[in-house]
Structure 1
């Protein structure tokens, strides 16, 4: 990457830095409460492990490290996510500039990521491990492209780092380097880059990064994969032909859901030129087409032989994140003039950059008018503050990880155990008072959940305490709407 190329993309990176800074501010302004993935990170930051369950530990390790220096907080959660996203876009832009001659198309390819709903909206709304996959994919792809175009020891090293991070982010990442390897081997001009001694460095670095988790995975394979396989193979006892049909259908819908908006934006911006571009080819478009083909074949094999019946659109991130760059490569290969299209595209991106943060904030704040409440409207902090006026808990037993993570955010020095995660079970025998908290669905029983009573008996030899109820006003409440929690104290001081 030359100094000129960096200078060409500088204004794009400044724009993206401002955008992700805005997203950081909007998240802090929206709600103090945590959503599912955020709460998981806060809860699991209580301990460092080689593995945590169905998801590999890369994001957990990163968030744990930041928490050690900055403390457990919403700000620490949001800064990690937005820094990862900004770095991902930066690497994507540098990759685009490596293989696109047209500076306008390199900018369009980079900003084109914002036209993918899973990238622009879903990753900001709650996802964490998928963000890590996206980041790892951009690291790998940058190293891979550099190794093909400007091979060096550092380019092979970067590719290895990307593979290592990716395998620690999500297991389905493995299909990306596999697809890249097959696609490069199929081209005689690129084959020497694969049969290069420096590829051993790529493999060694990837292995070194993943080694601690691989040792853990060897003894915890079922724990790590059971839930994911259960989600993928859920077909309501359908017959084999029906399961395959369901899997293929869900793959098709996932591809449309992932790529549909991007294709619509590019079609609106480039018009008939885009149709003509699909007939154009270059060395890079052919490489990416082969990669995409291998990726799809891999998923089809998983459907046919692995029993997968439900493919989610976010599972396609490790490959289809390349889509905006691919479209720009096709457009360049067709020799399309981009001046007018670039201005139209920037107008669309401006709408997205304003619309996405507004939608994220509005979906929570609108409850004041609609009475429709999201998880971010729940008043966890208000509830805990009220209970701490009764007594200062020495430990907390929460009904689930969502609740546990939210409580941990506001009382980080106290161990918080979750009923739905048996992997963290510290000795609480000497910690009193112990606070039990659980969510109370509307119309549900207000009694102590049986599972909590069993946990108390099995772990502390304690009998079930009196169950009480507390309610607190929603964030952005309509009228006097309140959310209810059940709670109990074990050995509460007088």
Structure 2
């Protein structure tokens, strides 16, 4: 901690560490049922690959490393996610301290993240790639500020490293990087740094980091571009559908942060959007200009590419600098002691609520009882599968939620689902085949599951004996086809 740290600063890091330690404890001791992204990670971490599905592989690599160190358990899942979230707050604080040159303002900018639902709640509830890309974006901005101030060879190498890691985190990092690059081109100092011969070092590091995934992407375009389909290019009434969806995503991402800022700082908050005030930044990098470029790039995706759909969580790495922009643009004296106390108090309410709601969900508190994923009876369903005679082998499910939860309880088996890469035929002799699908949606194996079995295993399960495993929990029904290794001819294919 800096020698000139304010009392508020001295509490920030210990408070964040305590909060995320509690979140780890809550999840690690809670329901063993995995949510969607958790289940996906349990599947893809069966292999070390340069790509797995429609998302880049960095989170999966870190999760696989955590599983190898701590075992495949809830602790490893919760520890990775909360470590990344803590680093997001830490790098935001470090950037704010360097940019704003004021300890209390840096703390307020950091605590502002607690008023962004996608950060304080959705990232905790069930996100993975969005979590890590936000962390890398926060780290990237801090590295950028250090690089602008002191362009050493080490900082040029770091610039290339964080850029490469950003693309390996999630592809929307490219919008963050492009917007930051546009800002640098408008700054005399930024142009000096960008056009220095040393920038070739940054490019070389980024190329080395990205090369394996780039080669995988080239060979697996159908997987690599799958996530881009979520933008729904060409759908709806161009360009109004895209602009309407973009506006809702931005507004949804920044609410309730802007409402609290307006309520606490009132006219000073509104005045922060004047151009001269928005361009001001003691640390030399104008975050207001960055936000304008970021929004312009998103608008270009609508106008040029025809993007028609945006989600608020996609804004995580892109609009992360909004709090820094606001507090950089506030007039001197706007943060009075009374306003500071009110804003900090409101911010601290949010993690308490997030912790309580998360604890209620994963520990099934009666007051929050409901039919959510954490209450799905995978323990009972797995016991019925064992009673059918399946102990280990190849499990092919129709979606990640089922595949990951079954592997979590049958760790000696391999699992697959349509939409993920990996070799399903790395198996031993005498292993059975288990085909599983959500029978609450389909009594028969769904078409995409049958197509996958036909394409990858040359197997047609039409006419095979199927069983519907039913439980007392509403909507908890699995369709199952169990085939021995001889019936499925897996031994010959292995």
TM-score normalized by the length of structure 1 = 0.88
Determine the C-alpha separation between the residues in 2 that align with 1:103 and 1:56: 36
Q: Return closer, same or farther for 1:489/1:28 CA change in 2, 3 Å cut-off.
A: same
**Aligned counterpart in structure 2 of residue 270 of structure 1, from 251, 265, 270:** 265
Q: By how many angstroms is 1:257 displaced?
A: 0.6
Is 1:23 aligned to 2:23, yes or no? Answer: yes
Q: Distance in 2 between matches of 1:272 and 1:230?
A: 42
User: Which residues of structure 1 form unaligned runs of 5+?
Assistant: 475-480
Classify 1:274/1:118 alpha carbon distance in 2 versus 1 (closer, same or farther; 3 Å).
same
Matches within 5 A, 1:182-193: 182-193=182-193
Work out whether 1:375 is the aligned partner of 2:368: no
Q: CA deviation at 1:248?
A: 0.8
In the alignment, the residues of structure 2 paired with residue 114 and residue 285 of structure 1 have an alpha-carbon distance, to the nearest angstrom, of 26
Helix, strand or coil for the counterpart of 1:303?
A: helix
State the shift of 1:228 in Å: 2.6
- Cα distance change of structure 1 residues 83 and 365 upon mapping to structure 2, 3 Å threshold: closer
1:275 to 1:400, Cα distance in 2 relative to 1, 3 A: closer
Q: Residue deviations 1:35-93, cap 9 Å, x none?
A: 11111110011111111121111111111222222222222111111111111211111
Alignment partner, residue 416 of structure 2: 417
Distance in 1 of aligned mates of 2:325 and 2:54:
32
SS at match of 1:308: coil
2:253 pairs with 1:255:
no
Equivalence for 1:478:
none
**Structure 2 unaligned runs (5+)?**
487-494
Distance in 1 between residues matched to 2:35 and 2:233, nearest whole Å: 25
Instruction: Give the corresponding residue for 2:492.
Output: none
Alpha-carbon distance, 1:131 to partner = 0.6
Q: Alpha carbons of 1:278 and 1:413: their partners in 2 closer, same or farther (altered >3 Å)?
A: same
Distance 1:147 1:6 in 2: 26
2:238 aligned with 1:243: yes
Please report the RMSD computed on the Cα atoms of aligned residues, expressed in angstroms. 2.8
CA drift at 1:148: 1.9
1:126 deviation in Å? 0.7
Report if the CA contact (8 A) 2:52-2:421 is conserved: no
Equivalent-residue separation in structure 1 for 2:285 and 2:427 (angstroms): 59
Cα pair distance change 1:137/1:148, threshold 3 Å: same
Aligned to 1:317: 316
Please report how far the alpha carbon of residue 24 of structure 1 lies from its aligned counterpart in structure 2 after TM superposition.
Answer: 1.5
| Number of aligned residues | 479
- The answer for the alignment partner of 1:356 in structure 2 is 354
Deviation at 1:112, TM superposition (A): 0.9
Contact persistence 1:381–1:407 (CA under 8 A)? no
Counterpart mapping for 1:79-228 below 5 A: 79-225=79-225, 227-228=226-227
Residues 157-166 or 77-86, more deviating: 157-166
Q: Distance in 2 between matches of 1:396 and 1:189?
A: 56
Residues 355/488 of structure 1: CA separation in 2 closer, same or farther (3 Å cut): same
Shift of 1:6: 10
SS in 1 for 2:11: helix
Cα shift at 1:372: 3.9
